[in-house]
Structure 1
Amino acid sequence: MAVAIIPARYASTRLPGKPLVALAGKLMIERVWERVRRAKKISRVIVATDDERIIRAVAAFGGEAVMTRSEHRSGTERVAEVAATTVREGEEIFVNVQGDEPLIEPSAIDTAVEAIESDLSVPVATLAVPIAKPADIMDPNVVKVVLDFDGNALYFSRAPIPWVRDRNAPVHARHLKHLGLYAFRRAALLDFPTLPLGDLERIEQLEQLRWMENGYKIRVAETPYDSISVDVPEDVSRLEQLLRELPSA
């Protein structure tokens, strides 16, 4: 079993107050919290925030929230602070669930936890989904990942990897989209804020490259689930329509 931590900053650049945006009658953070609680591998759900308004909102719907420092550079650093200060006996696996994905699939969370539970040598696990749209391969906002034979990440990039040089070659190139959901062993998670930033992380602006540049292995499990996030105001109406179409929403 694992502890799920949902980082929830109030000061989003493109959509201020994003965790408290109403989606079809419920706050976005509440919808994420409800979906995470459905995962079979999750025993506890914590919202990690830096704003008292989010603390109060989470308490109002019966959730657990923890106040964290405002200066964290990434969601993983915020998750690490919570893992360092609120851990209970026996809690060794932590899951970082994005706070702007109100349709997160509970079974995808279970897949990430199972990937780390099944191999004691794996410090970090994450998810990827096969890319279906050719345009996504070239889109720098869609992060790609390539794997070794054991399912470990070789590299994450905004560039189209693998690059198909010879389109007539007798080989099928599989392109995988990385999903920003992670499962960590506690020791590795607590190491993260102390690790030096490398050039690759700075160039690509991808925090998972900090693990790789410091020699950590990242296991990648494939899932059919693809993420749908709320990033700009226009996404709100689109998500509300999807929620209305879901009988369980």
Structure 2
Amino acid sequence: MAVAVTSPFAQELRGWRTRRRLSQLDLAIAAETSQRYLSFLEQGRSHPGRTMVVRLAEVLGLSLRERNALLLTAGYAPLFPESSLDAPELGAVRHALETILRGHLPYPAVVTRPFGVLVAANPAFELLTEGCAPELLTGTVNVLRLALHPDGLARRVVNLPEWGRHITDSLRNRSNHSPDPALDALIAELDGYLPPVEPGPGHLGFAVPLRLRSEGGELRLITTLTSFATATDITLSELHLEAFLPADQATSDLLRARFGA
């Protein structure tokens, strides 16, 4: 007979372990504890110490925000701070990001927060905003919405079905790893903008280049995504730098002619 889960921590722990597809034994070994103790935690029969909560969160690969949330369910104060991006303590980070953005010219690069919220961009980013509806570029700009909305970049994307699905599939994988209703709502919205796709022999799936119409001809771009893996501040840990690179010499020549360098 199953024992009812009685505490928020017990429910969260079992939920995260299930999402990560770990057995109790696997998680117990990785967290350097016993399966029996882990079973008691998931049943609400034992209460973990703060160190054990932190250790379990790390083994489960939780984000800093998720680790704070797990600590709260166990009755402990959050461990990781969440600073404003314009806070003095993140001044060096802002300078580093500005340097990287400038250094990536003549190619576009952007810094975003979770779910595609734009934080900063270099001048070459205007390549991706040309012809987009003004309402997509005012207030809080979401680069994912900007990319796939019919009144945004999408109208210039030659391979929209494949490239768009590459974006939404990546978001869906993120949602499976760290569920969030807001992310699910965004995925549903973006999916609604995309035409159906039938992958053929030329469909790469994991590395779909962006084929973009421009006045100078078709541009072919690939992207790299960078994050601050060792960050201990939530704001910093959730920033992503997305850098666009030319996929062929013609694209490189066009961008160099336009944005210099």
Q: Please indicate, yes or no, whether the TM-score normalized by the shorter chain is above 0.5.
A: no
Larger % of strand: which? Answer: 1
TM-score, normalised via structure 2 length: 0.25
Greater RCO (Cα-Cα under 8 Å, separation 6 or more): 1
Give the number of the structure whose alpha-carbon radius of gyration is greater. Answer: 2
TM-score, normalised via structure 1 length: 0.26
